[in-house]
Amino acid sequence: MKNKSYDKKIFRLLFILNKLETRKKVSTSDLAKEFNVSLRTVQRDIELLSMAGFPLISLYIKMDTACKGG
C-alpha cells in the first residue's frame, strides 16, 4: 500500500530541486501555498535538502518567517 504522505513529500522535494536547477527564485510562503502545507513543513524540507548536500538552496529560496500567531 502506498503512503500518500511520503509521495507528496517526495514530490515537494523534487519540485524544490527543479526550482534550483532552473535557477528560479521562490519564497517559502509561495511553496507552502502551492502545496497546501505549513511554512514550517517547507522549512523542514529545505533543511533536509541542505543536509543532503544542496547548500546553495538559500541563494534561490527566500526564507519567510512564520506569520504572527501562526
Q: How much is the pLDDT for 56?
A: 63
In a domain, 70, yes or no: no
- The pLDDT score that the predictor gives to residue 67 is 47
Contact present, 66 and 40 (Cβ < 8 Å): yes
Task: Look at residue 31 and tell me if it is in a domain.
Answer: yes
In a domain, 44, yes or no: yes
- For residue 39, what are the domain limits? 4-62
Residue 45 resides in a domain: yes
34-38, 42-46, 59-63 — which is least confidently predicted?
Answer: 59-63
Q: Is pLDDT above 70 for 59?
A: no
Task: Report helix, strand or coil for 61.
Answer: strand
Evaluate whether residue 69 is within a structural domain: no
pLDDT digits (tens, 9 = 90+) for 23-40: 777 888 888 999 999 999
CA–CA separation, 49 and 61 (whole Å): 12
What pLDDT does 12 receive?
92
Q: How many Å apart are CA 28 and CA 66, to the nearest integer?
A: 10
Tell whether 17 is covered by a domain: yes
pLDDT at 70 over 60: no
Q: How many domains does the chain fold into?
A: 1
Q: 42 lies in a domain?
A: yes
Task: Read off the CATH number of the domain in which 16 is found.
Answer: 1.10.10
